[in-house]
Chains A and B, each alone.
Chain A
């Protein structure tokens, strides 16, 4: 059910990409044919953050470089989870402002957004008739949560297409998920738990082209 919801979210965003990209400021001088709307604007490589030991994917930039929608596929080896996990992630990030440090360097002090992960390969994911309805109220394989991070970007001119600027960014994202948040905000746990107890950290690089 949540997977369907995730797909619906992706479906809702993809048409919007087509409407917004032509006006995007990221590549104002780019020849439209060279960058059709369906072609991703960046590649992502990430570790942790609940999205896999290694996760890679593609994404789109919208709204004058302020909004991004990324899709990642991640992997967790059996050694670290008891079974090999495949993690599909969809995340949407918003950057309200960025700071130009010099010709090449740009800092995004704040990016925030939401993510959904769907994990495959979970050992005890529930078989038909294993549990009666409502036995566990939560999903065992789909998590939803907020993200908050920063990013440092290095920009350089493309050799093949000098009119375009390529960018390499390094980022971190602090996140949490539905179950960790429920834990924190119930049973007077705010006194017993520190925010760090419910946080996750993801580290990654992004290549805009």
Chain B
């Protein structure tokens, strides 16, 4: 072996080592930093692409799993994924925020690593814990936008950041004008669903915005329900007596999740069925 080959090999070895180190999550600049992501980035866009690649035939009922607050419950996370993978006819899983406990990119990636083992795509909305420290930036790096919407299975989903306390109640979160715009346009869907982390009846929701927010939902066409997390306990009801049903998710630690089935009846009115699964 010539000296130059050896040198070349060493150089390649060195470069490979550097590449390995720069993509290495162990080399964490700070718990508040999100360097070293590897492929754990833009997960919302990636999951939306997976969803779009597997469309539901028109007229089919849509079944999806609803859960929330995965924060720090890794052991439950694995069991939940194993259980959801046994469910037939599921199209996606949605997580109502609080992916992380401390707003750290590393936690978000640990959760994503586990959710990536789902057979179906999963989509998340940001929770208050995901905004601690530089969490809002980490969430956008690992997952994606804080407010977004998409249509799947003739259902429009609007996901919105309602963690008002994390912005110290600045009067702009949730972004009600954006919500109004989203829920007033079904984009060809036959029904719609809204999901956010903090429910509008909670102390962490900006009270100045509660009337405008709930009115936007109550006046929106074909609204099936709003999904929330934050409270770590399941509930279903119409707290504002305005015809809008609010469903709060079980947290991962509660050993339970919900399967929601949505369709339109003979009068083209949205209907849903709810099933609780214990894992």
Contact = CB atoms under 8 A, between A and B. Distances in A.
- Bin chain B's interface residue count: 35 or more
B81 to A, nearest CB: 11
Contacts of A53: 29, 33, 35
A174 B27 CA distance: 9
A81 B72 contact: no
- Bin chain A's interface residue count: 35 or more
Contacts of B77: 192
Given A131-B165, A192-B74, A83 B137 contact: yes
Interface stretch (A8-16, A42-50, A59-67): A42-50
A180 B28 CA distance: 13
A100 B35 CA distance: 37
A140 B21 CA distance: 27
A130 B29 CA distance: 28
B94 interface: no
B33 A76 contact: yes
Interface string A184-204: 001111011100110111110
Contacts of B144: none
B28 A50 contact: yes
Interface string B44-75: 00000000000000000000000000001111
B132 A192 contact: no
B75 A82 contact: no
A129 B168 CA distance: 8
Contacts, number: 129
A181 interface: no
Nearest to B167: A124
A143 interface: yes
Contact of B132 (A50, A136, A188, A199): A136
Nearest to B77: A192
A179 interface: yes
B29 A123 contact: no
A48 B72 contact: no
A119 B30 contact: yes
A63 to B, nearest CB: 30
Interface string B101-116: 1111011001000000
Contact of A82 (B136, B165, B166, B253): B136
A50 B28 CA distance: 5
Given A81-B29, A179-B102, A189 B165 contact: no
B73 to A, nearest CB: 6
Contact of A124 (B21, B28, B29, B135): B135
Nearest to B141: A82
A125 B29 contact: no
A179 B133 contact: no
A125 B136 CA distance: 12
B40 to A, nearest CB: 13
Contacts of B21: 203
A71 interface: no
A82 B27 contact: no
Given A82-B137, A124-B135, A189 B74 contact: yes
A53 to B, nearest CB: 4
A187 B73 contact: yes
A183 interface: yes
B83 to A, nearest CB: 15
B26 interface: yes
Given A124-B132, A193-B110, A81 B103 contact: no
A125 B133 contact: yes
B134 A81 contact: yes
B138 interface: yes
A123 to B, nearest CB: 5
A200 B74 contact: no
14 contacts: A50-B29, A52-B30, A74-B29, A76-B29, A76-B32, A80-B34, A82-B138, A83-B134, A140-B132, A189-B75, A193-B110, A196-B26, A199-B26, A201-B24
Interface of A: 47-53, 74, 76, 80-83, 85, 87, 117, 119, 122-125, 127, 129-131, 136, 138, 140-141, 143, 174, 177, 179-180, 183, 186-189, 191-193, 196-197, 199-203
